[in-house]
């Protein structure tokens, strides 16, 4: 089987390299991108998470300089994903994001972050229940940014409002949520019920069980679902201690990444080709459909932003063997 190269909309780091590290170099970035390329990923949106404005500026400038001066950045990185800081700071919803840096949507901040970048911010994740979200979503769309939601407790009306304003995506659906929710009035059902939202899913068996993933695929349909990793620097690396966005995290022998001493997950160690294999092994999709959820669908989800910024993706071609291992044919 042949396919387009895989594309990851949400990747915070890889192979020991943290994209949120303000000291990242072109060489370190290339190390991560080479490892991703070996796993069949020919494009990605490096993702920065919640931080104070000055930290975000430093991190974006460092990442963008690394992309601009790296060997693979021009081909593999069309732009960036900003997850936060406009998220819900309540316990259970905030995840590993620093709650004291969270704030209401700030269009001027995002404009300032993007004005000196070689590559644009193409995707932004927020919580639409925060004050001013409707106007911010409209403004971000006018700036050529696809808007998604996560780390949110938005109700049915707020999700519908966000979709009316132009929000089109659920980031890592089923995560960034407390363990206990109201049985019928909750944001997970609200997002599943909104037909205008595509859903990004982390198929590692930890963020979503195989059964939960299958249920979401049935509700959203495969055409409306995207496989992502939410990988941190521990992906493609050995178990041990790491620093992600300034936070100590631990990758254990079972493949979960958590803040030291915490029970909640802090990103993943998932590789996107493994997500494809997992979906196939769980009989959640056929091989061509699973590959499409990690290649065609993510590109389709950000197509409007790519068109706005006149960006043409270099796609590449993969050949998949009988064990669903990808081999890059062209790039």
Answer yes or no: is 151 a known binding residue. Answer: yes
Alpha-carbon distance values, 200 to 90, 106, 197, 276, 301 (Å): 22, 24, 10, 13, 10
* Phi, psi values for residue 45, rounded to 5°: -110, 100
Distances (CA, A) of 250 to 23, 160, 201, 243, 269: 21, 37, 22, 8, 10
Strands ordered across the beta sheet of 2-4: 2-4, 317-320, 326-330
Buried b (16+ CB within 10 A) or exposed e, 169-201: bbbbbbbbbeeeeeeeebbbbbbbebeebbbbb
Residues tagged active-site:
230
99 is in an annotated binding site: no
- Is 317 assigned to a binding site? no
Q: Is 187 left (phi over 0), alpha (psi -120 to 50) or beta?
A: alpha
Residue 128: asked if its preceding bond is cis (omega within 30°), the reply is no
Known binding-site residue numbers: 83, 151, 172
Binding site members for Zn(2+): 83, 151, 172
């Amino acid at each position: 089987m042949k396919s387009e190269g895989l594309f990851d909309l949400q990747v915070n780091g890889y192979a020991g390299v943290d994209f949120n590290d303000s000291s990242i170099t072109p060489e370190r970035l290339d190390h991560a991108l080479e490892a991703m390329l070996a796993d069949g990923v020919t494009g990605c949106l490096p993702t920065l998470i919640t931080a104070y404005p000055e930290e975000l500026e430093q991190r974006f400038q460092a990442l963008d300089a690394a992309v601009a001066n790296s060997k693979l950045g021009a081909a593999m990185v069309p732009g960036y994903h900003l997850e936060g800081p406009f998220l819900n700071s309540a316990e259970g919803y905030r995840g590993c994001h620093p709650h004291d840096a969270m704030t209401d949507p700030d269009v001027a901040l995002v404009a300032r972050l993007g004005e000196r970048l070689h590559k644009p911010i193409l995707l932004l994740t927020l919580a639409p229940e925060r004050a001013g979200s409707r106007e911010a979503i409209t403004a971000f769309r006018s700036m050529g940014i696809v808007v998604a939601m996560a780390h949110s407790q938005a109700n049915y009306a707020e999700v519908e409002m966000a979709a009316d304003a132009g929000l089109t995506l659920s980031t890592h659906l089923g995560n960034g949520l407390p363990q206990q929710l109201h049985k019928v009035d909750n944001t997970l059902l609200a997002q599943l019920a909104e037909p205008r939202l595509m859903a990004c899913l982390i198929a590692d068996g930890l963020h979503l069980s195989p059964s939960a993933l299958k249920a979401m695929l049935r509700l959203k349909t495969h055409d409306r679902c995207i496989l992502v990793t939410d990988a941190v620097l521990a992906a493609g690396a050995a178990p041990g201690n790491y620093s992600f966005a300034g936070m100590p995290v631990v990758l254990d022998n079972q493949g979960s990444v958590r803040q030291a001493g915490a029970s909640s997950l802090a990103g993943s160690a998932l590789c996107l080709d493994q997500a494809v294999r997992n979906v196939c092994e769980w009989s959640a999709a056929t091989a061509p459909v699973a590959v499409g959820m990690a290649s065609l669908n993510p590109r389709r989800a950000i197509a409007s932003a790519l068109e706005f910024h006149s960006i043409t993706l270099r796609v590449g071609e993969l050949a998949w063997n009988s064990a669903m291992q990808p081999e890059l044919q062209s790039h």
